[in-house]
Structure 1
């Protein structure tokens, strides 16, 4: 973004949500010397790209949580945003604390079940312990059922079979094709081939019919699971990797006219929320037609911060344009599938580029802290 620009007095940017988009925006504002407050309900950034492996390997979780305060100091506030007062330009936290803003960046992300998502008010130690407890459950199970064959389910089943090759792993998915619809058909087929090579059993075109009655993430030997096709199977541990939804609790009641049907925020080409020149949506909560990826959240953040600065110094706003889908699926630490700019990548390259370390180095470098 070049050198620092001269910013008028009274500018204070509030960032709601400290995921990949939130920390990217905070870093860019910090580098420009712009006053900001980053708000998150945890006290540590969660590198959830590595969350699935953290549920399987003892001691791995501490590499996936990075304390905010060490990087952002007093510019970080822990709390849950309950609503946004757009008239007074304030965000109101649970407990009544109010933080005023001149500009607001909403990066609330998406929510879903453990272990892929962990959107809970928790301390650094509690967060790590949650994943350590999951490790114990996986170690005690002889068989695991993974529910959902999107990207997360495919990665989860692969991770389990890689780290615990002797465990029986079954993946059930309501559709015949696996992974995300935005992926090339050849990449989706390749994901299926990797799962079969690793010994994952596939139950495609079926749903679990009694999921609401079942306990997730807890080992209970020989639990009976029924499918909508009348099949019954037994397993020791059930992991749900389906049901991702936009995390809209912080803003849904405050700006209902700007909501898309799925709870995301309608945005223009500049990522400004519909009806507001000084409110931006970044990452999963922005209603942009593209896969919900950490990579895209970072691109959104750059556009939002650039446009805040441009609006203050009278420059033309920049536009966000979606490009070819780039997506990498880590299928255990030794394999992976993916595509870059519309082209399928070799499996060894995905394994080398993402699967080995799950891009942990990148987050630790961005947070300017040393990985344990």
Structure 2
């Protein structure tokens, strides 16, 4: 008699979030799971993978055909290796999570009312971004409409104010200057220097000089009242302009919120979250009260700057190893007794070096790596590593989809 499990009997691993981290984990598991015992479900709020690294160039112009190259649908091609024919994609947003007792599984409740059961749950829901990166979730056509609307908005604007001088505002300014070199662009930032104090002053000053060399005006230690809003559309810009907190008069006709990301964790109960909305985790990426639930990427409560490189290259290998270790231990001892923290099989996260690469259009940029004495790298290397192509060539290996 065959001992092969049916689909209903298989252990179900559910990954929520198909961003760079979620897909990296899916691909890692695809070579390690036992297809006779385990199956994987990917849940994402959008029907397509959005390559956020290239998204700012995408919403500014039609350069490099990014709408075709960087927006990939999910489908059978998403599941490869041992997951081929053994994986499922579900399009939907998670409204809430029902957690099982003692690691015995649970359920996701989606916005369409669908219920998705899991034995192991991995949360990789990433960040919520302000416009222009607040892409719709209902359909690809809605995403395309959003992109075309942002392009038209930037093209029509005569004077653009970016509210926030982190990497989002800086990289958007560079993309705008590539396409509209003579158009006034201003960045206003509350801090005394651009970015934040994770990075040394020398680097932050270098970044300012590089962006000002493109003709971008930088206002530091200042703000407008509207920057506290969740969104500022062109229609909300008063004809009289703005007076900043420091008394400076600004008259943009387009204000773009670029104050950065927020963890996408509104579907979780508050007791699992920090005061900033990040998910509390153990060094094994497990939730303290639920050993069969893992979280990684931008959403975790860990003292480090968030970024795609950390999720893909530093978090994912440990999460993948720990999911497989959990499966082995749960099968041997029962889920309720699994303690990866005490297991020699577990991979514990202790953090990684801080690093950032900030593009300034297609042919410029500056980066920082917190190794040795702290290394600042210049434009030619940033151009080679990121700015020129925005790593577009890597997307098909992540999504399994090759554009025509």
> If the length of structure 1 is used for normalisation, what is the TM-score?
0.90
1:15, 1:36 within 8 Å by CA — same for their partners in 2? yes
1:334, 1:351 within 8 Å by CA — same for their partners in 2? yes
- SS of the residue corresponding to residue 72 of structure 2 reads strand
Among candidates 297, 305, 316, match of residue 283 of structure 1: 297
The yes-or-no answer on 1:77 pairing with 2:77 is: no
- Distance, in Å, in 2 between the alignment partners of 1:146 and 1:55 is 15
Q: Deviations over 1:119-175 (max 9, x none)?
A: x32312221221111111111112111110011111111221122101011111111
- Distance, in Å, in 2 between the alignment partners of 1:106 and 1:213 is 24
- SS of the residue corresponding to residue 277 of structure 2 reads coil
What corresponds to 2:398 in structure 1? 366
Q: Which runs of 5+ in 1 are unaligned?
A: 1-8
2:226, 2:232 within 8 Å by CA — same for their partners in 1? no
- Distance, in Å, in 2 between the alignment partners of 1:28 and 1:214 is 37
What corresponds to 1:3 in structure 2? none
What corresponds to 1:143 in structure 2? 159
Q: Deviations over 1:30-63 (max 9, x none)?
A: 2224411110111001111111111111253333
Q: Deviations over 1:261-293 (max 9, x none)?
A: 111111111111121111101111111111110
**TM-superposed deviation, 1:244:** 2.5
- Distance, in Å, in 2 between the alignment partners of 1:208 and 1:214 is 13
- Distance, in Å, in 2 between the alignment partners of 1:316 and 1:215 is 49
- SS of the residue corresponding to residue 235 of structure 1 reads coil
- Distance, in Å, in 2 between the alignment partners of 1:154 and 1:274 is 37
The yes-or-no answer on 1:14 pairing with 2:14 is: yes
Between Structure 1 and Structure 2, whose CA radius of gyration is higher?
2
Equivalenced residue count is: 360
Among candidates 266, 291, 303, match of residue 280 of structure 2: 266
Q: Deviations over 1:215-260 (max 9, x none)?
A: 4256979661221122221112111101532111222x3xx33211
- SS of the residue corresponding to residue 264 of structure 1 reads coil
Correspondence 1:217-296 to 2 at 5 A: 217=234, 224-242=241-259, 244-251=261-268, 253=269, 256-296=270-310
The yes-or-no answer on 1:45 pairing with 2:77 is: no
Q: Which runs of 5+ in 2 are unaligned?
A: 1-8, 80-86, 330-343
Among candidates 123, 145, 161, match of residue 177 of structure 2: 161
- Distance, in Å, in 2 between the alignment partners of 1:69 and 1:223 is 49
- Distance, in Å, in 1 between the alignment partners of 2:327 and 2:17 is 23
1:116, 1:152 within 8 Å by CA — same for their partners in 2? no
The yes-or-no answer on 1:30 pairing with 2:30 is: yes
- Distance, in Å, in 1 between the alignment partners of 2:236 and 2:185 is 14
The yes-or-no answer on 1:330 pairing with 2:359 is: yes
- SS of the residue corresponding to residue 182 of structure 2 reads coil
2:225, 2:244 within 8 Å by CA — same for their partners in 1? yes
**TM-superposed deviation, 1:180:** 3.6
Q: Deviations over 1:60-97 (max 9, x none)?
A: 33332111115336611001111111126111112321
**TM-superposed deviation, 1:117:** 4.0
- SS of the residue corresponding to residue 228 of structure 1 reads coil
> If the length of structure 2 is used for normalisation, what is the TM-score?
0.84
